[in-house]
């Protein structure tokens, strides 16, 4: 029995491979291609691996939906297959549309519906239950445990047991009758417990655990019409941005200035009718990622935040921090809803940050983030905060300094803030690629490696969590060193 033990959780799902995303998607000279291939050492061996997908090789068709700014609904962020459009139908209708059913049926029998799935599966990026729900289940459980504790009520012993069994199956990603029964047992218990819980907060959390159990059950049973409508959702709400970051692909396509080009028109933000539709069946949602550009530019962001918080949905936001002033911070704090947030820094000094993140004021960014973290501490909110940096030749020397800055910004170690380093994105956009060629740096490069090793040492010294592409930074460096040596 794991009643007492089942409280903790991992915040970070398994990291995707770090050098697997480089495809030759545009014409380039042989020399440039060779350079690019050398940079992604090791990927060809992976690419030659067998491509026999098992039945149900991806959970996304049962758990996920991406709603684009033009209203099209897609299975995930790596696939442009269209289930339908919220311009013409409701989200629940689209979820069981012939196109969605056909896509699901294909994945269920282990056949790639299209080339995007083939590539995604080949790179090990297909959605797993662990990547979708591991940290979320931990957060929901913590919410239930905290609310019960605050009310002086003991945790339900049977729920603890069922949850431990269910969560273990989610983490293992193993399919089969045992996983199916674990979902059923967890679902039964959550339904029973919900009827008896009087503390709203605890009931909410248990209810959402039940939603996840049902979504997992839909996946394990390969249901063509999953009962839960897209429990993890992303909506591309805003295309424009108030910053002009030099590594933003949208800068080179003009999207962040004039809006996204689709069907011969430019769309700057999702309209109100569609953004309301993106939240349909809000009770089915467990997490919502404000995809696209600066979410705080959407006129409805406050109302949407309130709707999500009222239904216990975890809101994920990425921001450049300029609009997250004291009033905006107060709105997020008052929502009290579970959320997670990323602040893009891309450097540790005023000169570097302002040269990369054009239109961003370093002083205001630091001031806003400091205030935000202080408010998290004051409200005792357990919100994972990420301070991110995309590695470029221009900023690579500032990795350790960013760790030190994060240490300085957090009011105390109870605030869950970490640093995350990422590589530059690749893109078929020619104008962006000229920039990419100048600025690309891989972690195997001696300068990057030395800087990241210094950052890892600083992180250890200051007790700041540092990640590289979702993986512990020190582990990632060791793994990369071993790969190169091997
Ligand atoms: S295999 Fe990849 S591209 Fe296909 S649905 Fe799953 S996550 Fe999306």
Which ranges in 300-361 belong to alpha helices (H)?
301-310, 326-335, 350-356
- Provide the pLDDT confidence category of residue 291 given band limits of 50, 70 and 90: confident
Ligand 1 centroid, distance to 246 Cα (angstroms): 29
pLDDT at 51: 60
Residue 248: pLDDT over 60: yes
Pocket test for ligand 1, best of 20, 100, 127, 232 (most atoms within 8 A of CB): 127
pLDDT at 4: 29
- Provide the pLDDT confidence category of residue 256 given band limits of 50, 70 and 90: very high
pLDDT tens, 341-358? 999 999 999 999 999 999
Ligand 1 centroid, distance to 127 Cα (angstroms): 6
Residue 28: pLDDT over 90: no
- Provide the pLDDT confidence category of residue 428 given band limits of 50, 70 and 90: confident
Nearest protein Cα to ligand 1, atom 4: 117
pLDDT at 321: 96
Nearest protein Cα to ligand 1, atom 7: 126
Ligand 1 centroid, distance to 75 Cα (angstroms): 7
Ligand 1 centroid, distance to 350 Cα (angstroms): 39
Structure tokens at 198: 């009087």
Q: Quick check: CB of 137 below 6 Å from ligand 1?
A: no
Residue 455: pLDDT over 90: yes
- With H, G, I as helix, E, B as strand and everything else as coil, classify residue 462: helix
- Provide the pLDDT confidence category of residue 235 given band limits of 50, 70 and 90: very high
Ligand 1 centroid, distance to 61 Cα (angstroms): 8
- Provide the pLDDT confidence category of residue 436 given band limits of 50, 70 and 90: very high
Ligand 1 centroid, distance to 121 Cα (angstroms): 7
Q: Quick check: CB of 78 below 6 Å from ligand 1?
A: yes
Report the pLDDT averaged over residues 359-383.
95
Where does residue 349 rank: exposed (0-12), middle (13-18), buried (19+ CB within 10 A)?
middle
pLDDT tens, 154-184? 999 999 999 999 999 999 999 889 999 999 9
Distance CA(4)–CA(154), nearest Å, equals 11
Q: Considering only CA atoms, which of 468, 372, 471, 362 is closest in space to residue 416?
A: 372
Report the atom number in ligand 1 closest to the C-alpha of 77. Answer: 8
Q: Quick check: CB of 467 below 6 Å from ligand 1?
A: no
Q: Quick check: CB of 296 below 6 Å from ligand 1?
A: no
- Provide the pLDDT confidence category of residue 14 given band limits of 50, 70 and 90: very low
Residue 194: pLDDT over 80: yes
Residue 8: pLDDT over 50: no
Report how far apart, in Å, the C-alpha atoms of 146 and of each of 155, 228, 317, 375 are. Answer: 10, 27, 24, 19
Distance CA(336)–CA(143), nearest Å, equals 12
Pocket test for ligand 1, best of 58, 66, 226 (most atoms within 8 A of CB): 58
CB 418 within 8 A of CB 341: no
Report the atom number in ligand 1 closest to the C-alpha of 116. Answer: 3
Ligand 1 centroid, distance to 179 Cα (angstroms): 21
CB 349 within 8 A of CB 401: yes
Residue 5: pLDDT over 50: no
pLDDT at 29: 37
Distance CA(177)–CA(196), nearest Å, equals 29
pLDDT at 40: 37
| Arithmetic mean of pLDDT over the chain | 88
pLDDT at 141: 94
DSSP conformation letters of 144-156:
HHHHHHHTT-PPP
Residue 416: pLDDT over 60: yes
Ligand 1 centroid, distance to 386 Cα (angstroms): 25
CB 23 within 8 A of CB 426: yes
pLDDT tens, 114-145? 999 999 999 888 999 999 999 899 989 988 99
Nearest protein Cα to ligand 1, atom 3: 117
Report the atom number in ligand 1 closest to the C-alpha of 127. Answer: 7
Where does residue 407 rank: exposed (0-12), middle (13-18), buried (19+ CB within 10 A)?
middle
Residue 21: pLDDT over 60: no
Residue 27: pLDDT over 80: no
Q: Residue 386 CB: number of other CB atoms within 10 A?
A: 22
Is the pTM of the predicted complex or chain greater than 0.85? no
Residue 23: pLDDT over 80: no
Residue 367: pLDDT over 70: yes
Q: Residue 114 CB: number of other CB atoms within 10 A?
A: 14
Return phi, psi of residue 226, to 5°.
Answer: -55, 135
Q: Quick check: CB of 62 below 6 Å from ligand 1?
A: no
First to last CA, the chain: 42
The residue with tokens 């700057």 is: 268
Ligand 1 centroid, distance to 210 Cα (angstroms): 24
Report how far apart, in Å, the C-alpha atoms of 108 and of each of 17, 73, 104, 123, 223 are. Answer: 25, 20, 6, 19, 9
- Provide the pLDDT confidence category of residue 91 given band limits of 50, 70 and 90: very high
pLDDT tens, 37-70? 334 333 333 333 446 788 899 999 999 999 999 9
pLDDT at 113: 96
Pocket test for ligand 1, best of 120, 128, 129, 219 (most atoms within 8 A of CB): 120
Q: Quick check: CB of 335 below 6 Å from ligand 1?
A: no
């Amino acid at each position: 029995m794991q009643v007492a033990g089942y409280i903790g959780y991992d915040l970070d799902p398994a990291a995707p491979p770090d050098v697997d995303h480089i495809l030759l998607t545009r014409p380039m000279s042989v020399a440039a291609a060779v350079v690019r291939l050398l940079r992604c050492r090791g990927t060809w061996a992976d690419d030659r691996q067998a491509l026999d997908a098992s039945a149900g090789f991806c959970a996304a068709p049962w758990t996920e939906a991406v709603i684009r700014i033009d209203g099209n609904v897609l299975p995930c962020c790596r696939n442009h297959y269209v289930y339908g459009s919220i311009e013409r139908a409701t989200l629940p209708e689209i979820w069981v549309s012939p196109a969605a059913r056909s896509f699901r049926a294909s994945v269920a029998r282990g056949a790639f519906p299209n080339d995007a799935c083939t590539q995604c599966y080949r790179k090990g990026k297909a959605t797993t239950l662990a990547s979708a729900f591991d940290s979320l289940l931990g957060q929901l459980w913590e919410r239930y445990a905290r609310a019960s504790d605050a009310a002086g009520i003991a945790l339900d012993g049977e729920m603890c047991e069922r949850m431990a069994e269910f969560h273990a199956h989610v983490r293992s990603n193993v399919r089969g009758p045992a996983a199916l029964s674990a979902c059923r047992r967890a679902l039964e218990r959550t339904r029973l417990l919900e009827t008896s819980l009087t503390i709203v907060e605890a009931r909410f959390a248990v209810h959402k655990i039940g939603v996840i159990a049902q979504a997992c059950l839909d996946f394990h049973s390969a249901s063509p019409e999953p009962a839960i409508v897209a429990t993890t959702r992303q909506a591309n709400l805003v295309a424009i941005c108030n910053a002009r970051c030099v590594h933003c692909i949208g800068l080179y396509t003009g999207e962040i200035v004039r809006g996204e080009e689709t069907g011969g028109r430019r769309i700057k933000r999702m309209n109100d009718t569609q953004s309301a539709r993106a939240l349909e069946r809000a009770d089915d949602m467990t997490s919502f990622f404000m995809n696209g550009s600066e979410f705080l530019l959407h006129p409805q962001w406050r109302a949407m935040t309130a709707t999500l918080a009222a239904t216990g949905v975890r809101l994920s936001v990425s921001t450049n921090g300029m609009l997250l002033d004291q009033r905006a911070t107060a709105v997020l704090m008052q929502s009290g809803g579970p959320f997670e947030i990323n602040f893009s820094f891309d450097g540790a000094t005023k000169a570097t940050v302002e040269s990369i993140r054009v239109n961003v004021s370093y002083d205001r960014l630091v001031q806003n983030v400091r205030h935000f973290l202080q408010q998290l501490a004051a409200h005792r909110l357990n919100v994972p905060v990420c301070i991110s940096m995309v590695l470029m030749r221009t900023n690579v020397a500032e990795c350790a300094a960013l760790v030190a800055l994060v240490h300085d910004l957090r009011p105390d170690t109870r605030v869950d803030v970490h640093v995350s380093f990422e590589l530059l994105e690749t893109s078929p956009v020619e104008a962006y690629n000229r920039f990419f060629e100048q600025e690309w740096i891989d972690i195997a490069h001696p300068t990057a490696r030395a800087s990241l090793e210094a950052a890892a040492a600083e992180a250890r010294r200051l007790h700041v969590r540092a990640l590289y592409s979702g993986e512990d930074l020190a582990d990632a460096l060791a793994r990369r060193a071993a790969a190169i040596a091997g």
